[in-house]
Amino acid sequence: MDYLLQTTGYIFQGAGVTLKLFIITLAVSLPLGFLCAMGKTSKVKSLRLLMELYTSIVRGTPLLLQLFFVYYGLPILIPGLRFERFTAAAVTFILNYGAYFTEIFRGGIQSIERGQYEASRVLGMSYSQTMLRIVLPQTVKRVLPPVSNEAITLVKDTALVVVLGIGEILRNSKEIVSRDFTISPFIIAAGIYLALNYLLVVLFRKLEKRYAVYE
């Protein structure tokens, strides 16, 4: 019993790192994705092209390669620039998920019927008022399911930072497996991932019900 408690405790230490990376990534990549989506739907051609380049590169290359590039490649390209391991992981995840959220928000914004924009102008509403009062509430409702899927994927993708030697859930459980030749740490790790994703599913279902009024 003591062994199980010690094992679980050590893996939970890694869960703290996983949660920290998850929260930082989601907190920054969501607004980043929204801002980039606005840029991608703007009338400024150069801005649209820049956002297209950003999303194409990030979505077209593996997240693992991006981790290696930020941690190992950037110091070669820019001498003197050196990220700590966790910082490199956070920067990579933010840029990666920001690109995916950009496309999600872009699709949500462009799914709003043009008639609603025209009706708001007839009512004398400004562009910002139209976005805040009419477009964004409906957009949030429509993008919640894909955002939920990305959030769940993010929890699992955090395991990739093991390649940088960061002590998250997978690395800590793998250390115990290698030391004690038992699979119980992997089972505990799987249970933690499942629990985290279950909580996310419950949270997003509640959010979807809250925004159902905008249907």
Cα separation, 34 vs 209, in Å, equals 22
What length is written for the chain? 215
Give the dihedral sign, CA 24/71/158/93: positive
118-127 pLDDT, tens digit per residue, is: 778 777 787 7
> Residue 215: pLDDT above 60?
no
Cα separation, 28 vs 33, in Å, equals 9
The pLDDT value given to residue 213: 59
128-151 pLDDT, tens digit per residue, is: 777 777 778 788 888 999 999 999
Q: Backbone phi, then psi, for 44, in 5-degree steps?
A: -85, 110
Cα separation, 115 vs 150, in Å, equals 30
Per DSSP, the three-state class of 123 is coil
pTM of the full predicted structure?
0.91
Of 48, 50, 56, 40, whose CA–CA distance to 109 is shortest?
Answer: 40
Give the dihedral sign, CA 153/158/159/161: positive
> Residue 18: pLDDT above 60?
yes
157-186 pLDDT, tens digit per residue, is: 999 999 999 999 999 999 999 999 899 999
CATH of the structural domain 2-214, one choice from 1.20.1420.30, 1.10.260.30, 3.90.1300.10, 1.10.3720.10: 1.10.3720.10
Of 214, 35, 42, whose CA–CA distance to 142 is shortest?
Answer: 214
Cα separation, 46 vs 50, in Å, equals 6
The percent of residues above 90 in pLDDT, for the chain, comes to 71
Map tokens 């390209």 to a residue. Answer: 77
CB neighbourhood size of 122 (10 A): 8
Structural domain boundaries in the chain:
2-214
Mean pLDDT of the chain: 91
Range from 47-51, 62-66, 207-211 carrying the lowest mean pLDDT: 207-211
Is 133 in contact with 125 (CB distance < 8 Å)?
yes
Question: How confident is the model over 18-35, as a mean pLDDT?
Answer: 97
Of 25, 66, 56, 20, whose CA–CA distance to 150 is shortest?
Answer: 25
> Residue 102: pLDDT above 60?
yes
Question: How confident is the model over 3-14, as a mean pLDDT?
Answer: 91
Question: How confident is the model over 22-45, as a mean pLDDT?
Answer: 94
Cα separation, 17 vs 23, in Å, equals 10
